[in-house]
Amino acid sequence: MKFFKELFLGLRCYKESVSFILTHGFLKYLAIPVILFGVLFYFGYTFESWSHAAETSVETKDYSLGFIGRMWLLIKVQFFALLKFLFVDAVKYVVIIFLSPLLAYISEKTEEALTGNHYKFNLPQLIKDVKRGIGIALRMLVAEFGLLYLVWKPFCWLVGIDSFLYEFVAVLIGFYFYGFAYIDYINERLRFTIKESWTFMKNHAGLAFAIGGVYSLFYKVPSLIQTDSTWLKLFLDNFGVLFAPFLAIVAATISMHKLVDLNTSKFANKKETSVTQIN
């Protein structure tokens, strides 16, 4: 029962996050992911074309390259394939990593509007926050990869589980880890250790699934829309890069305020301003 209660809490807070972003002037921050998307898109597909070119060279079996030359070519293929994976396939985690300073700032500003809590600028603490955000994203990437490809996929192969069930469980695993990554921004301000944050999210898995689920669907659903326009298809395929991170961090902050009451934070100063009421 608790799981579903917190699941619906997270879903409701996504709806509230839209009006919150519009009324608090957060739209200006969208320029940053647009620029980031352009950079990632350019490099991702550049690496993909280089990888294909290297693969073509391998397939031609040009023995004039010699053994060392062909081995070097194979290394190049794998290297460019890895870069393409990071810049295209794993772009959700890459976005979290590169936007980490901005997401931390937006989460603070959201909390300030909700509660009046104010956090003085502290460069060492900011560096620590960014390092933790990046570290959490990397841990999530490794954990998801390990669960999917080292545990779940071999299990499905051994038992004979069909591809639909494999994909369904894989998506659910992603929901949890994405949600964890965004909620941890608030846990960090509450001075939770990473271990304490893990424990917190195990106890509030419903909220993690809600935050991570909607975030993931922003990437998946628009790309299912069919269109003959190349540019419109490009926009739909990458719709999530532009909007999902901001909705997720605002929704996560609003959700956590409702769940634990951020007014009680011992690590913030109170700012004498009008506070946004979200029930």
Task: Read off the tokens for 2.
Answer: 């608790």
Is 40 part of any domain?
A: no
- Which range is least confidently modeled, 116-125, 183-192, 250-259, 260-269? 116-125
Is 222 part of any domain?
A: yes
Is 65 part of any domain?
A: no
Is 260 part of any domain?
A: yes
Is 78 part of any domain?
A: no
Residue 254 has pLDDT above 70, yes or no: yes
Is 198 part of any domain?
A: yes
Question: What is the average per-residue pLDDT within 41-57?
Answer: 67
pLDDT at residue 3, as a whole number: 94
Domain extent, residue 245, equals 2-33+89-270
Q: How many CB atoms lie within 10 A of CB 3?
A: 12
Distance from the Cα of residue 127 to its chain's centroid: 20
Tally of domains in the chain: 1
Is 72 part of any domain?
A: no
> For residues 255, 261, 264 and 266, what is the CA-based torsion angle, rounded to 10 degrees?
-20
Is 254 part of any domain?
A: yes
